[in-house]
Amino acid sequence: MHHQSSVRKELQDLVNRLHEAATELGMKINGKKTEVMKVCDDPKPITVTVAGCTLNETKSFKHVGAMFNSEASCDEEVKSRLAIARQRLVELVQIWTVSNKLKARLIKALV
């Protein structure tokens, strides 16, 4: 239990330092739009604040097109990428007049 509380304190310290650095540069962290996510088995909610505003805890988020979740699993990311690949293949239906050998090579390259 002591380890978890020290990790929480370290996280809050890190956020505080980020807030201070942003403030020094004339920037502001929007506490209403900023969320926090933990990746661990501890069901206890995590509390992190920025300038007195408690950040909401989220279970997942998308960053630079990739999905991250609190369970550290990539299942949703894989499903999403497969769905995108399938959609792109459907969009390529106009060029499917090529040989089966070429189709197989294209599928391997795309998936």
State the Cα angle at 58 between 54 and 63, rounded to 5°. Answer: 110
Q: Are residues 44 and 95 in the same domain?
A: no
pTM of the model: 0.56
Number of domains comprising the chain: 2
> Which pLDDT tens digits describe the chain residue by residue (111 residues)?
456 677 788 889 999 999 999 999 999 999 888 888 887 777 788 888 998 899 988 887 777 777 777 777 777 778 888 888 888 878 877 777 778 888 788 778 876
Do residues 62 and 97 share a domain?
no
Contacts of 92 (CB under 8 A, 6+ apart): 106
- Whether 68 and 41 share a structural domain: yes
Burial, 14: exposed, middle or buried (Cβ in 10 Å; 0-12, 13-18, 19+)? Answer: exposed
Q: Are 50 and 88 in a shared domain? A: no
The C-alpha atoms of residue 99 and residue 12 are separated, in whole angstroms, by: 59
Claim to verify: residue 94 and residue 54 sit in the same structural domain:
no
